[in-house]
Amino acid sequence: MKTLIVYTSQTGFTQRYAEWLAEEMKADILNLKEAQKKDEKYFDSYDAIIYGGWAMAGTVTKVKWFLDKASSWEDKRLALFCVGGGPNDSPDIEVMFNKTLNDNQKKHIKTFYCQGGFNYEKMNAPSKMAMKMFVSSQKRKKNQTEDEKKMVEMISSSYDISDKKFIAPIVEYFESEN
């Protein structure tokens, strides 16, 4: 199955997962900026296309590009993976994918989540500012639960909870559909 992986990444976590996938699946890989320069024909030869974006405020970054294209890729096997700062078992993941895809897209596009982390050193100024505001608003919140306190503590500085093992379900999905 000829596969293409398109990704967008600000601080490197999504890029790392895209590269792990490309290596494991022997797939081609393109940064979204490069993919946006390609014409329609370029994608014709691919049997499968996977889009990877990072989680931002409960949505998947720049997913619109992929969803717009996906409507004309009905003959291809499609998947979407999202990389976020939260753990793989977070209930927020389902909420995010439910918000991101409509019912028709859900039938055609398989979704996956891979836990990433936070890298404040590589983050741009608007992202740093947004995170600073989010952390201080959470700290001001009264009656914080223990889980919320832990989460705020965790996202106050950089951490890395990424692991190659999280690509396994994606690889398996494409192998099983061969």
Ligand X SMILES: Cc1cc2nc3c(=O)[nH]c(=O)nc-3n(C[C@H](O)[C@H](O)[C@H](O)COP(=O)(O)O)c2cc1C
Residues that bind ligand X (CB under 6 A): 9-15, 54-58, 83-86, 116-118, 123, 127, 130-131
Closer residue to ligand X, CB minimum distance, 160 or 175: 160
Cα-Cα-Cα-Cα dihedral of 136, 138, 143, 149, to 10°?
-100
Contact predicate 36/45, CB 8 Å: no
Give the HSE-up count for residue 95: Cα atoms under 13 Å, Cβ half-sphere: 7
Surface-to-core class of residue 80, CB atoms within 10 Å of its CB (0-12 exposed, 13-18 middle, 19+ buried): buried
Shortest gap between Cβ of 29 and ligand X (angstroms)?
14
Shortest gap between Cβ of 103 and ligand X (angstroms)?
23
SS3 77: strand
Shortest gap between Cβ of 41 and ligand X (angstroms)?
29
Shortest gap between Cβ of 37 and ligand X (angstroms)?
20
Closer residue to ligand X, CB minimum distance, 36 or 72: 36
Closer residue to ligand X, CB minimum distance, 54 or 174: 54
